[in-house]
Amino acid sequence: MKRKLNPGYIYIFPAVLIMVLLIGYPLIYNISLSFKDVTLANLAGNDQPFVGFQNYIELFNHELFPVALKNTFLFTIGSIAFQFIIGFALALFFSMNFKLANFLRGLMMVSWLVPLTVTAMLFQFLLSPSVGLLNHIPIYFGWIEEPIAWLSLPEYAMWGIIITNIWIGVPFNMLLLATGLNNLPKDVYEAAAIDGATWIQRFRHITLPLLKPVIMIVMMLGFIYTFKVFDLVYVMTGGGPANSTQVLSTLSYQFSFQNFDFGLGASVANILFVILLIISIIYIKMTDEDEVAS
């Protein structure tokens, strides 16, 4: 395959072109914005003073930056861990052959289909201490005595949003892992069964290694989509109470669209971007080694 132009590039070209045109430009725009002092007054004109790293310096000294950074990681790791574990467990359960398995698995996807804004409001409702069912049910069963004001207490609010996000993300994890499971070669399992391998042995030595590429993709995409979360937090708590749910994307939004400090808002978005970029590079490295190894 060492000829002039690798034909693979032709196949890739349309997809790359669309993305370069539609996302490449916003990317560059945003990077340049972060080095300027831009408010609504000069957002359109050419009169945008270059201020070097001043926005970044201001950001690093801003009291909310470390808070938002910590919250973003807490939200991401909390969400992904539970989404993955529950999603995997359910994928395994529904991969057992029983009549309703496919139907029920499809049905559960519904939680992923509801528009995000609606889910956010729905859970705001369900988590409410006065009318929220997620409080009334445990009280009814005597698990808790007092309703928990999930979204109104700084120590719980983030978990309220994480619970919501887990509910949204589990079916996605389940679907991808389930299709991955279904694609595993059946003969290996049959051979293992003949060799007398237990269920756990088969899971550890066959399922997990074979599923690794799919697991990596699920984790990776999960990380990206969770890390840049906006709608959920914006609708459910707006970053409050007392900034306990302030994440990088809501902070960026607040700087840009509430304070009209677009340079500062862009710098937050870029930090978010750089973090995701670093994680992606690590991921690519890992999959590269993987492919070389296999």
Partner 1 sequence: MKKWHWSLLALFSILILAACNPGDGSNENDSTEDNESAAEGVAELTFWSYVNPNQHDGQLLMDMVDEFNEANENIEITYEYIPHGEIDQQVSVAVAGGGLPDILMIDNPDHARYASMNVLEDITDKVQEWGEEAQYFEGPWASTIYEGKNYGVPFTTNALALFVNNDMLNEKGIEVPTTWDELTTASQQLTEGNTLGFSMSAISGPEGMFQFLPFLLSTGANYDQLDDPNAYRAMEFVTNMVDEGYMSRETLNWGQGEVASQFTAGNAAMMVNGPWMLPQVRNDAPDMDFSIALIPKDSEYASVLGGENLALPKGDHVEEAWTFLSWLSSKEQAMRFSEGSGQFSPRVDVSDELGWEGDPHLSVFLEAIDNAQPRGPHPAWNEIAEAIQNQVHNSITGISTPEEATEQAHQDVIEIIE
Partner 2 sequence: MKHTFITKKSFWLNVIGVIIALVYLFPIYWMVITSFKTQSEIFQVPPTLFPKDFSLASYTGQLGAQLFGMVGNSFIIAFSAMVIVLLTAVPAAYALARYRMKLTGIIMLFFLVTQMLPATVVLAPLFISFEQLNVLNTYIAPILATTTLGIPFSVLILRPYFLSAPVALEEAALIDGASKFRAFFTIILPIVRPGIFVAGAISFLFAWGDLIFSLTFIRDQSLWPLTAGMYNAIGQYGVQYNFLMAFATISVIPVVVIFLSLQQHLVKGLTAGSVK
Q: Which of 119, 128, 164, 207 binds partner 1 (CB under 8 A)?
A: 128
Contact pattern from residue 78 through residue 97 relative to partner 2, giving x for each residue in contact according to CB under 8 A and a dash for the rest: ------------x--xx-xx
Cα–Cα distance, 272 to 248 (Å, whole number): 7
Plot region of 115 (φ>0 → left; ψ -120 to 50 → alpha; else → beta): beta
Q: Which of 57, 85, 109, 208 binds partner 2 (CB under 8 A)?
A: 109
Check binding of 257 to partner 1 (CB under 8 A): yes
Q: Among partner 1, partner 2, none, what binds residue 41 when CB lies within 5 to 8 Å by partner kind? A: partner 1
Minimum CB separation from partner 2 for residue 24, in Å? 8
- Considering only 56-64, 65-73, 154-162, 165-173, which stretch makes contact with partner 2 by CB under 8 A? 165-173
Closest-CA residue to 146 (of 129, 163, 161): 129
Cα–Cα distance, 283 to 161 (Å, whole number): 27
Q: Rounded to the nearest 5°, which phi and psi values hold at 36?
A: -125, 165
What does the radius of gyration of the chain's CA atoms come to, in whole angstroms?
Answer: 23
Whichever of 119 and 245 has its CB closer to partner 2, that residue is: 119
Q: Among partner 1, partner 2, none, what binds residue 108 when CB lies within 5 to 8 Å by partner kind? A: partner 2
Check binding of 49 to partner 1 (CB under 8 A): no
Check binding of 13 to partner 1 (CB under 8 A): no
Q: What is the dihedral of CA 59, 63, 64, 70, to 10 degrees?
A: 100
Minimum CB separation from partner 2 for residue 59, in Å? 15
Q: Which of 7, 12, 18, 40 binds partner 1 (CB under 8 A)?
A: 40
Check binding of 73 to partner 1 (CB under 8 A): no
In order of 128, 186, 189, 191, 201, the CA distances from 195 in angstroms are 54, 14, 10, 6, 11
Q: Which of 52, 61, 113, 130 binds partner 1 (CB under 8 A)?
A: 130
Q: Which of 49, 66, 106, 209 binds partner 2 (CB under 8 A)?
A: 106
Q: Which of 6, 13, 18, 28 binds partner 1 (CB under 8 A)?
A: 28
Check binding of 143 to partner 2 (CB under 8 A): no
Site for partner 1 in 234-253 (CB under 8 A): 236-243
Contact 133, 143 (CB under 8 A): no
Check binding of 123 to partner 2 (CB under 8 A): yes
Q: Which of 40, 57, 85, 118 binds partner 2 (CB under 8 A)?
A: 118
Check binding of 101 to partner 2 (CB under 8 A): yes
Site for partner 2 in 26-65 (CB under 8 A): 26-27, 29-30
Interface positions with partner 1 (CB under 8 A)? 20-21, 24-25, 28, 39-41, 43-44, 124, 128-131, 149, 151-154, 236-243, 254, 256-260, 262, 284, 288
